Amino acid sequence: MKAKARLLLEDGTLFTGKSFGAEGNSVGEVVFNTGITGYQEVLSDPSYCGQIVTMTYPLIGNYGISRDDFESVKPFVHGFVVRRHEEAPSNWRAQYTLGNLLKEYGIIGISDIDTRMLTRKIRHHGVMKGILTTGDLSIEELKEQMQATPLMCTQVSTVSTPTVFSAPGNRERVVLVDFGAKSGIVRDLSKRGCDVVVVPQDTTAEQIMRLAPDGVLLSNGPGDPKDVPHAVETVRQLMGQVPLFGICLGHQLFALASGADTEKLKFGHRGGNHPVKDLISGRCYITSQNHGYTVKEDSIAGTELTVTHINNNDRTIEGLKHNKYPAFSVQYHPEAAPGPFDSSYLFDDFLEMIRNHQTDNPQAPRQAQMLAAWKAEQSDSSTKGELHYAQK
């Protein structure tokens, strides 16, 4: 017999099912994803940090887990909710089971509950806090623990890389600011020959420019963009210096840095089938999305931004471009994983923007720049009449 697991929502709704994965208690924001496949990519997407994820598709785990399909080093979700958990996957690529993955990373899973009812409740009332448990605490004790545990507001610093690393290439150098970047972004850039340098989320604009980037990509990531004001300031300082491309959280940070505002959606966009209309071409793309915040439409007025894409379901803003600087962003995921690859052309647009910027703003050769900097230092030291010592 499987052990029992329970999910209690902050409105008092209780779901009782079967446990798989790890044991214990976990508090998080309960959300749902409408993807039919891609549960491994969902679990390993850093943008789900701090959330208890419900899969609306009724059968999860049937093709197992493959090491090639991770979108980050490890999962950051706070719980996993499914209708039916398949314990014996059938797929030649499978290397271990979904239950093994959750157990390895201390993630509680619950199955055999009415995920349709749960999804309808979230759609009607909005996302809400919940506690997932495999223990024997009473309902009152669970409520107390849930109320005493605040939802995370440090997700970006939790999931971001702590150190700089690179994926070398022989073409344009792109600095990827990691707010919770999916591996698919690096793969798409590397596929196009880019010299990718990944930097932590708190890297300053000055530090980024020292890396001599041809372009800067602002990655996806979890949580409220207003929880990382330092990132907004970094983006503001980078605009005009170097071409920018923002994805998901990067899109929201780009909007805030340009003077627009953001707000929380009732239940967010999470899935691989969201229709987005390109206002320039009129074409509709099917996109992969995972976000709980959006750019407020009425905040665009008075900024240098133009709306380029909208969501065909709820008319929310899905794309922006700057009217003055070489910079644009989208709310969805052009690297998909999981999802359609209709929008991968945006990486090509980004590289074309970089090349056009280089053509319009030719730079002196590096040697000439270094010589000019050296002459400036010599001139400065001669006027001051002071000795300059090498710093240890």
Query: Which CATH number is 292's domain given?
Result: 3.40.50.880
For the chain, the farthest-separated pair of C-alpha atoms sits apart, in whole angstroms, at: 84
pTM greater than 0.85 (yes/no): yes
Closest Cα to residue 278, out of 317, 239, 305, 241? 317
**How confident is residue 367, by pLDDT bands cut at 50, 70 and 90?**
confident
* Domain contains 367: no
* Domain contains 381: no
| Same-domain check for residues 212 and 356 | yes
Q: Give the annotated binding-site residues.
A: 47, 221, 223, 249, 252, 290, 292-293
**How confident is residue 157, by pLDDT bands cut at 50, 70 and 90?**
very high
pLDDT number for residue 382? 52
Task: Taking residues 301-305, report their average pLDDT.
Answer: 96
Q: Which of 113, 131, 152 is the last residue of a domain?
A: 152
Percent of the chain surpassing pLDDT 90:
90
Cα separation, 292 vs 276, in Å, equals 16
pLDDT number for residue 374? 84
| Same-domain check for residues 220 and 269 | yes
When divided into structural domains, the chain yields a total of 2
pLDDT number for residue 128? 96
**Beta pairing, strands 4-9 & 128-133:** antiparallel
* Domain contains 76: yes
Please report, as a single letter, which amino acid is at residue 221.
G
**How confident is residue 266, by pLDDT bands cut at 50, 70 and 90?**
very high
Q: Is pLDDT at 50 greater than 80 in this prediction?
A: yes
Burial status of residue 314 (CB atoms within 10 A of its CB: 0-12, 13-18, 19 or more):
exposed
| Same-domain check for residues 187 and 294 | yes
| Same-domain check for residues 122 and 8 | yes
pLDDT number for residue 381? 60
| Same-domain check for residues 192 and 322 | yes
| Same-domain check for residues 204 and 183 | yes
**How confident is residue 178, by pLDDT bands cut at 50, 70 and 90?**
very high
Look up the domain containing 67 and give its range: 4-152
| Same-domain check for residues 262 and 328 | yes
Question: What is the domain-level CATH number for residue 24?
Answer: 3.50.30.20
Q: Give the annotated binding-site residues for L-glutamine.
A: 47, 221, 223, 249, 252, 290, 292-293
Q: What is the pLDDT of residues 189-214, one digit of tens each?
A: 999 999 999 999 999 999 999 999 99
* Residue numbers annotated as active site: 248, 333, 335
Closest Cα to residue 162, out of 197, 201, 195? 201
**Beta pairing, strands 305-311 & 284-295:** unpaired
Cα separation, 390 vs 299, in Å, equals 50
* Domain contains 379: no
Q: Which of 98, 122, 152 is the last residue of a domain?
A: 152
| Same-domain check for residues 131 and 165 | no
| Same-domain check for residues 328 and 209 | yes
320 DSSP β-pair partners: 307, 329
Q: Is pLDDT at 388 greater than 70 in this prediction?
A: no
